[in-house]
Amino acid sequence: MPRLFRLNGTIQHYGWGGYEYIPQLLGLENKLHQPFAEYWLGAHDRGPAEIILPDGAIQLLDQFIGQQPEILGRPVQEIFGGLPYLFKVLDVREMLSIQVHPSRQEAKKGFERENALGIPLEAANRNYKDTNHKPEVMVALTEFWLLHGFLPEEQLIRVIREVPELRILEGMFTREGYFGLYKMVMEWEETALKKLLDPLIARIVPAYREGRLHPEDPAYWCARALAEGICSPEHPDRGMLSIYFFNLVHLMPGEGIFQGAGVPHAYLEGRNMELMANSDNVLRGGLTTKYVDVPELLRHVRFTETIPQILTGDSISGSVEKKYTCPVPDFVLSRIHLQNKEKYRHLSTSADILVVISGSVLVQGSGKLDLHKGQAMIAFCGEEYEITGQQESLIFQAAVP
């Protein structure tokens, strides 16, 4: 039975996406000038990929796996009950909302609680869409900016003191730490929030328009949120303050970061590969017009300092593969860089999904695939395959560790 197939992903046209990168990657024209935000490669029911069978027939990946779950390998099928990850290409043109993801245990409780309350799965005020956690790892394809966890205490105090409008927050942070500070800001009435933010907005927006702010400065992103219409001066967004509270991380191509349960984060700009547990559970904390459930959010945020751990990948197979190992059993991400005629061999122990970001390769196993820029494949449990570069090529691989 063949276990090596070509795969077509699903495009998500979210409003924050870019207009050029993903269409160019996939060889598509964007005649309607739609935003192309994400390209999904997985079996998520909101956008399953298409698997191309040897006879040319097309089947949805979730259905294909559901009909023969043993193709994932017995351990993965018994532990996860399906493909445990979702693989994505992202093009972040506009800032995404601040998010926190629950642990698996809390996701199960939250999902059952909202079901008992009769909240429809697609309701705007629904927090939990499934019973799974949603850890995620990303690797930058271009320079990439994001928010990631609370600043260390000394740095946060320095920021509060240096930004005139924030100085009134120092006493609260000194007395009650991260939880007290964040809770106060998130629960503030809009009039109090507006009173604090109005002078800040009046100061930073002209500086942004005149090009006097730089991405290393939280004020740049705060003003940009206003310029992009994500936030409104008339109805200030609490997430604007979080930009000052969180680590502002700048990644270069090939660098990555892992987001675990409870770590507040937000993507700001850039293109990346993202690999996550197969879940849609998101608790939002601002920079959005979507539902923000403050009490539920406060239950899940990790109120501790975060020292960003930048991942550069562990070298495997000489210089060919960089593996970005994460502290979860759901997934592992690899970056494979092949020169012309250079080879990479691998044995799939569950289901590997690979996508060619640049170049072209020949894949040989139980079948043979010529893959070019933007094309993808899946190799199921027991498939031993060899990839040969037809020119210098960059590939990303999602797998189960």
- Each of the 401 residues of the chain gets a pLDDT tens digit; together they read 789 999 999 999 999 999 999 999 999 999 999 999 999 999 999 999 999 999 999 999 999 999 999 999 999 999 999 999 999 999 999 999 999 999 999 999 999 999 999 999 999 999 999 999 999 999 999 999 999 999 999 999 999 999 999 999 999 999 999 999 999 999 999 999 999 999 999 999 999 999 999 999 999 999 999 999 999 998 889 999 999 999 999 999 999 999 999 999 999 999 999 999 999 899 999 999 899 999 999 999 999 999 999 999 999 867 899 999 999 999 999 999 999 999 999 999 999 999 999 999 999 999 999 999 999 999 999 999 999 999 999 999 999 99
Residue 317 has a pLDDT of: 67
Rounded Cα–Cα distance for residues 35 and 109 (Å): 35
Q: CA quadruple 126, 132, 133, 138: dihedral positive or negative?
A: negative
Phi-psi region of 220 (alpha: psi -120 to 50; beta: other; left: phi over 0): alpha
**Residues marked as catalytic:** 284
Instruction: State how far the alpha carbon of 156 is from the alpha carbons of 169, 176, 214, 215, 289, in Å.
Output: 11, 14, 19, 18, 27
For 174-229, write each residue's pLDDT tens digit: 999 999 999 999 999 999 999 999 999 999 999 999 999 999 999 999 999 999 99
Residue boundaries of the structural domains of the chain = 10-146+251-292, 154-244
pLDDT at 212: 97
Its CATH class, for the domain covering 10-146+251-292, is mainly beta
Question: Which residues, 6 or more positions from 41, have their beta carbon under 8 angstroms from its beta carbon?
Answer: 7, 9, 49, 86, 87, 88, 353, 355, 376, 398
Predicted pLDDT at 1? 76
Report the distance separating Cα 317 and Cα 313, nearest Å.
Answer: 12
Total-model pTM:
0.96
- Interval 147-157: pLDDT, tens: 999 999 999 99
Counting Cα atoms < 13 Å in the Cβ hemisphere of 373 gives: 13
